[in-house]
């Protein structure tokens, strides 16, 4: 979507109201289109199927809106605005944005409960507003180019605008190799930015662009409070989760739940069945490899809750076929292998429903990642193990561990743990979650790339400075919300689901729940070495005990094993010397060594190889 704000207002409006912020379907790539497209835009219709087409205007057509997402409290907000004299011509949640902006001005965002990327053209004030939801569920890209502001909910919409260069941002490439994603506000292309979550961009006809925060999570509210009884907290959390899930079940089409068998998705499914017993469809993915497969737990939860359960198995042949499609749907490279099963699950689920709830966000709110416990372990390790043992003996022993390609195998965990030693906690955390170390990147990239290591973790320190919390656990949780959640988890789900015309909603990231959890003492999240302590207490009696006591497995696929078999031809093609030299970024002999070591079982290089493979698949579609 673009708006040339130096041109007359009507022309600016016609161009600005392009289809790229409307709900997207598989045949709508969100490309730039000139001229008015109010009658030609495609949308994934969830609310007001007949009259909710965008753009939507106010009564005198001086304010126009397009947006991607859902406003969950639109009915209550509509009633409030009608009492204040506003007239509605549709039953869509889009129209409530128009009148909320009319009524409240720039404060309208404080009244919205939902996930959204919004564009508003105010003809009276001759200004364009772009806004993104509080936690970054929906993406929003923008570029200032030759006096024109170009924007869209997909990066490919900006690339489709005539004359936009596709120059790889080397700082972003550096970040990608370390994090496995490009953190906001950068994108993989120079000059194209992502609007941060909870931010509002204002652009006037003079071309001035101003970006400001309208919301942020404040974890310092949990520090220094006098704790209540655990049972009281659990009751409050349960009630609020019921309210949030009920809001997010609002729909004019059937809605289901994505069920992994883990605690978070089980929590969402349990509450959905309480609210609508006998009417919930659940969906899951199974694997042949037992170390990755959680389908038995998803089946158990489905039986316990009485959902109408549907399951599909991801095989190596399906994965190879999907990878070619996924490279075309991703706006930026993403080195998270769970993108593949997420894409398949979205495709499968779309055969039954058009919208589904998922459990994403629970790990970031309740300290669910194993790395949170590892931070506590490393304190004992550094304090109790003598320096000579840590620096010499342990690395020597680790190098001799037998390599296993199972999911989160013992040798994998130990190698990742040792790889995070000797650096500040905020950096250690992202080394554990990420891919290439600084030393490995020096061997990987060609000399001309000239990666600056100081740039890699600057974004971590920026978020650390912005975090008002002082307790280390809170600081890590804040960074997870701003980086891993917003840069990896949410784009993965958004791209995979939207490419398959499925809308996925994430109740854990409803801002009313996020704000409540931010007030909880961190001991109720990570209690000793028990993660998600309060969430488990809240679910006691709602789900089987064995589900409550399960450790986190993660929604991954058997990349390590499949690279040695069914994925090997694709890897050989993407990592061929001719291709790597033609693209020019990576040192072919070093990549060959990584591949050979993995194939021979000398080292488990799944993380590094998948990060590179994902980049190569993306680059052949969008990088040239």
- CATH number at 361 reads 3.40.50.620
What's the whole-number average pLDDT of the chain? 86
Do 147 and 207 fall within a single domain? yes
Q: Give residue 42's pLDDT band: very low, low, confident or very high (50, 70, 90).
A: very low
What pLDDT score was predicted for residue 136? 97
Identify whether 247 is part of a domain.
yes
Query: What token pair was written down for 125?
Result: 């004030």
Residues 173 and 228 in one domain: no
pLDDT in tens, 488-507: 999 999 999 999 999 999 99
What is residue 41's three-state secondary structure?
A: coil
| Across 143-147, 392-396, 499-503, 569-573, least confident range | 392-396
Strand-pairing partners, residue 287, are 314
Tokens at residue 229, please? 């009884």
DSSP H stretches of helix in 385-489: 387-388, 394-398, 410-419, 425-433, 438-444, 453-456, 458-466, 472-480
Do residue 209 and residue 229 come from a single domain? Answer: no
The model's pTM is 0.89
Q: What pLDDT does 107 receive? A: 97
Reading the block at residue 3, the tokens are 């708006």
Are residues 47 and 103 part of one domain? yes
Angular region, 597: left φ>0, alpha ψ -120 to 50, beta rest: alpha
- 455 vs 576, more confident: 576
Residues 280 and 346 grouped into a single domain: yes
- Per the listing, tokens 């053209």 go with 121
pLDDT digits (tens, 9 = 90+) for 239-285: 999 999 999 998 877 899 999 989 999 999 999 999 999 999 999 99
Among the three residues 529, 548, 567, which one is the final residue of a domain in this structure? 548
- Is 409 a residue whose pLDDT tops 70? no
Do residues 260 and 204 both lie within one domain?
Answer: no
**What pLDDT, on a 0 to 100 scale, did the predictor assign at position 207?**
81
223 and 245 share one domain:
yes
Report the percent of the chain where pLDDT is more than 70: 83
Same domain (yes/no): 207, 233: no
- pLDDT in the model for residue 18: 37
The answer, yes or no, to whether residue 51 has pLDDT greater than 60, is: no
Over the stretch 559-590, which tens digit does the pLDDT of each residue have? 989 999 999 999 999 999 999 999 999 999 99
Which residue would you say has higher pLDDT here, 388 or 519?
Answer: 519
Nearest Cα to Cα of residue 322 among 291, 285, 355, 359: 285
Residue 114: in which H helix or E strand, if any? strand 114-122
Q: Which of 527, 548, 569 is the last residue of a domain?
A: 548
Does the residue 182 lie in any domain? yes
Residue 1: the pLDDT is 39
Which range (113-117, 345-349, 555-559) has the least confidence?
Answer: 555-559
For residue 402, being part of any structural domain is answered with: no
- Going across the sheet that includes 141-145, the strands are 2-3, 148-152, 141-145, 193-194
**Of the candidate ranges 12-21, 302-311, 317-326, the one whose mean pLDDT is the lowest:** 12-21
* Residue 153 and residue 225 share a domain: no
Three-class DSSP category at 447: helix
Whether the pLDDT of residue 362 is over 80: the answer is yes
Domain that holds residue 499: 219-320+334-367+488-548
Share of the chain above pLDDT 90, in %: 66
Buried b (16+ CB within 10 A) or exposed e, 322-349: bbeebbebbbbbbbbbbbbbbbbbbbbb
Query: At 38, is the pLDDT very low, low, confident or very high (cuts 50, 70, 90)?
Result: very low
422 burial level (CB within 10 Å; 0-12, 13-18, 19+): exposed
Tell me if 195 sits within 8 A of 211, measured CB to CB. yes
Instruction: Tell which of 172, 195, 213 closes a domain.
Output: 213
> What pLDDT score does 24 carry?
34
Same domain, 209 and 234: no
Domain annotation covers residue 34: yes
In a domain, 246, yes or no: yes
What gap in Å lies between CA 604 and CA 602, rounded to an integer? 7
Q: What is the CATH number of the domain that holds 166?
A: 3.60.20.10
Which of 29-33, 92-96, 162-166, 537-541 bottoms out in mean pLDDT, i.e. has the lowest?
A: 29-33
Q: How many domains does the chain contain in total?
A: 2
pLDDT band with cut points at 50, 70 and 90 for residue 19? very low
Domain presence at residue 298: yes
End-to-end CA distance of the chain: 21
Q: How many angstroms from the chain centroid is the CA of residue 603?
A: 30
Which whole number is the average pLDDT over 331-340? 94
CB 123: neighbour CB atoms within 10 A?
A: 17
Say which residue, 403 or 247, is predicted with more confidence.
247
pLDDT value, residue 43: 45
Tell me whether residue 583 is in a domain.
no
Q: At 378, is the pLDDT very low, low, confident or very high (cuts 50, 70, 90)? A: confident
DSSP single-letter state for residue 221: G
Query: What pLDDT, on the 0 to 100 scale, is given for residue 398?
Result: 60
Whether 185 and 224 map to the same domain: the answer is no
- Domain assignment present for 206: yes
Upper half-sphere CA count for residue 441 (Cβ side, 13 Å): 24
Same domain, residue pair 234 and 311? yes
């Amino acid at each position: 979507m673009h708006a040339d704000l130096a041109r007359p207002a009507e022309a600016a409006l016609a161009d600005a109201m392009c289809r790229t912020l409307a709900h997207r379907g598989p045949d709508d790539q969100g490309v730039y289109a000139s001229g008015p497209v109010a009658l030609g835009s495609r949308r994934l219709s969830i609310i007001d199927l007949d009259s909710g087409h965008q753009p939507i205007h106010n009564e005198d057509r001086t304010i126009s809106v397009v947006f991607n997402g859902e406003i969950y409290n639109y009915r209550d907000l509509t009633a409030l605005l009608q009492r204040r004299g506003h007239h509605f011509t549709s039953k869509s949640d889009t129209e409530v944005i128009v009148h909320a902006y009319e009524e409240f001005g720039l404060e309208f965002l404080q009244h919205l409960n939902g996930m959204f990327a919004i564009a508003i053209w105010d003809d009276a004030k001759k200004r364009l507003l772009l806004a993104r939801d509080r936690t970054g569920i929906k993406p929003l890209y923008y570029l200032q180019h030759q006096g024109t502001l170009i924007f869209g909910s997909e990066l490919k919409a900006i690339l489709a605008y005539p004359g936009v260069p596709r120059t790889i941002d080397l700082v972003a490439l550096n970040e990608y190799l370390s994090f496995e994603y490009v953190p906001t506000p950068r994108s993989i292309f120079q000059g194209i930015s992502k609007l941060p979550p909870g931010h509002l961009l204002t652009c006037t006809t003079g071309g001035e662009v101003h970006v400001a925060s309208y919301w942020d999570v404040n974890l310092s509210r949990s520090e220094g409070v006098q704790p209540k009884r655990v049972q009281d907290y659990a009751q409050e959390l349960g009630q609020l989760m019921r309210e949030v899930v009920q809001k997010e079940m609002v729909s004019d089409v059937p809605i289901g739940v994505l069920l992994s068998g883990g605690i978070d998705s089980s929590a969402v499914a349990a509450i959905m069945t309480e609210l609508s017993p006998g009417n919930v469809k659940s969906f899951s993915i199974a694997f042949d490899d037992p170390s990755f497969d959680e389908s038995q737990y998803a089946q158990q939860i489905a039986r316990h809750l009485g959902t109408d359960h549907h399951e599909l198995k991801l095989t190596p042949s399906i994965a190879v076929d999907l990878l070619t499609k996924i490279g075309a749907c991703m706006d930026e490279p993403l080195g998270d292998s769970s993108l593949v099963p997420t894409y398949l699950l979205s495709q499968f689920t779309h055969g039954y429903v058009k919208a589904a709830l998922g459990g994403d966000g629970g790990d970031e709110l309740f300290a669910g990642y194993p790395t949170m416990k590892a931070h506590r372990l490393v304190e004992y390790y550094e304090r109790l193990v003598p320096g000579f043992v840590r620096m010499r003996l342990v690395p020597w022993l680790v190098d001799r561990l037998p390599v296993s390609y199972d999911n989160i195998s013992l040798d994998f965990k130990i190698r990742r743990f040792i790889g995070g030693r000797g650096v500040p906690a905020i950096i250690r955390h992202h080394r554990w979650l990420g891919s290439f170390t600084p030393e490995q990147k020096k061997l990987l990239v060609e000399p001309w790339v000239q990666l600056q290591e100081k740039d890699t973790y600057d974004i971590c320190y920026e978020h650390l400075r912005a975090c008002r919390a002082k307790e280390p656990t809170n600081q890590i949780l804040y960074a997870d919300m701003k980086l891993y959640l917003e840069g990896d988890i949410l784009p993965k789900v958004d791209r995979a689901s939207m490419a398959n015309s499925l809308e996925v909603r994430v109740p854990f990231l409803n801002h009313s729940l996020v704000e409540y959890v931010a007030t909880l003492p961190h001991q109720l999240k990570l209690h000793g070495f028990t993660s998600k302590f309060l969430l488990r207490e809240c679910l006691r009696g709602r789900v089987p005990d064995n589900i409550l006591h399960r450790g986190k497995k993660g929604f991954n696929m058997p990349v390590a094993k499949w690279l040695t078999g069914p994925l090997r031809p694709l890897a050989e093609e993407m990592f061929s010397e001719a291709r790597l030299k033609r693209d020019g970024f990576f040192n072919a002999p070093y990549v060959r060594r990584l591949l050979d070591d993995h194939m021979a079982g000398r080292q488990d290089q799944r993380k590094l190889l998948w990060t590179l493979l994902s980049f190569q698949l993306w680059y052949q579609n969008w990088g040239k």
